Amino acid sequence: MHTPEPTAGSGRRLAHPEREEIRLETVLHALADPIRLRIAGELADGHTEMACIAFELPVSKSTCTHHFRVLREAGVIRQHYEGTARMSRLREDDLEALFPGLLSAVLEAYRRSHRPV
Amino acid sequence: MHTPEPTAGSGRRLAHPEREEIRLETVLHALADPIRLRIAGELADGHTEMACIAFELPVSKSTCTHHFRVLREAGVIRQHYEGTARMSRLREDDLEALFPGLLSAVLEAYRRSHRPV
DNA sequence: CCATTAGTACGATAATCTACGTACTACGAT
DNA sequence: ATCGTAGTACGTAGATTATCGTACTAATGG
């Protein structure tokens, strides 16, 4: 096997769960971390699509990679490459279909808790 | 110190966070565990008030205590003694005031995921 | 070709979490 | 007073998680 992978699309492969594979506990766990909740919050508020670097998170690059992977594997975000940048967006349609009102309630709660009143 | 505590009320003290102290991340974390999600689900569906033993959870007594404490300290449930039984109920009013729609969305999602269609 | 940029993979470490058993306490009933 | 019931407290083992640094890769631009 000298031709390991066709390297389809933009070159790098990203594993996403299918809609039916998304589990409630996993989604809640993904959103229970402050860094990841903030990522979801920023994706929801204005920046529907963002590269990882644009978040300016208070953690190292590799920790950042880790958190985006947790969100992606939980089914909270969808990622694809654009050049060297990995763009992320919320899977609002899938989550809404599976767990109606859940994501929007979390995001609204996030706004209330983390923004000055 | 021979009179350690007034032992008020039903005898044993239980620490609950005030409404303002309840944090979104902590609530999500509390609900992200399968056992605790199930507890919340059973409290929501018919048994507004239940003793710990009545849940028949597939874990030991001490683990059971642990999970109820996580839920209580997160602000998800309120507990009080009735004889030797510790009764639990969801803090629906507090959670609804803080995070509107969140608890009901989680519970509805739980019903969809964990009950046969 | 070389440098830069954006991000991954791997390995380590420290913290946190879940689970358990054992010993204990508080209440109610006999 | 003693017993059973419901649950806690404590110590601990094992798993998972968050964090980091270092080394690497893939795309873009000189």
Contact: B32, A33; criterion CB under 8 Å: no
**Span CA (B58) to C1' (D14), Å:** 19
Give the A:B interface size as CB pairs under 8 Å.
Answer: 72
Least-confidence region, from B9-18, B52-61, B86-95: B9-18
Between A88-92, A107-111, B47-51, the lowest mean confidence (pLDDT) is in: B47-51
**pLDDT of A2 strictly over 80:** no
Give me the DSSP letters along B70-116: HHHHHTSEEEEEETTEEEEEE-HHHHHHHSTTHHHHHHHHHHHHHS-
Whether A7 shows a pLDDT value over 60: the answer reads no
Indicate yes or no: strand C within 7 A of the C-beta of A52.
yes
Contacts of A37 in chain B (CB under 8 A): 24-25, 28
Give me the domains of chain A, ranges plus CATH numbers. Answer: 21-111 (1.10.10.10)
Top-ranked range on mean pLDDT: pick from A55-59, B22-26, B53-57: B22-26
A48-70 residue pLDDT tens? 787 878 888 999 999 999 999 99
Q: For chain A, give the mean pLDDT.
A: 88
Please report how the helices A102-114 and A34-44 are oriented relative to each other, as an axis angle in degrees rounded to 10. Answer: 100
* Interchain contact, B108 vs A98, CB within 8 Å: no
Residue B83: predicted pLDDT: 87
Query: How do strand A77-82 and strand B85-90 relate by DSSP bridges?
Result: unpaired
Q: For residue B105, which phi and psi values (nearest 5 degrees)? A: -70, -40
Q: How many CB atoms lie within 10 A of CB A21?
A: 10
B104 CB below 7 A from strand C atoms: no
The A residues from 7 to 66 touching B (CB cutoff 8 Å) are 23-26, 28-29, 31-34, 37
Nearest to A75 by CA among A91, A86, A97, A51: A91
Higher pLDDT, A9 or A92: A92
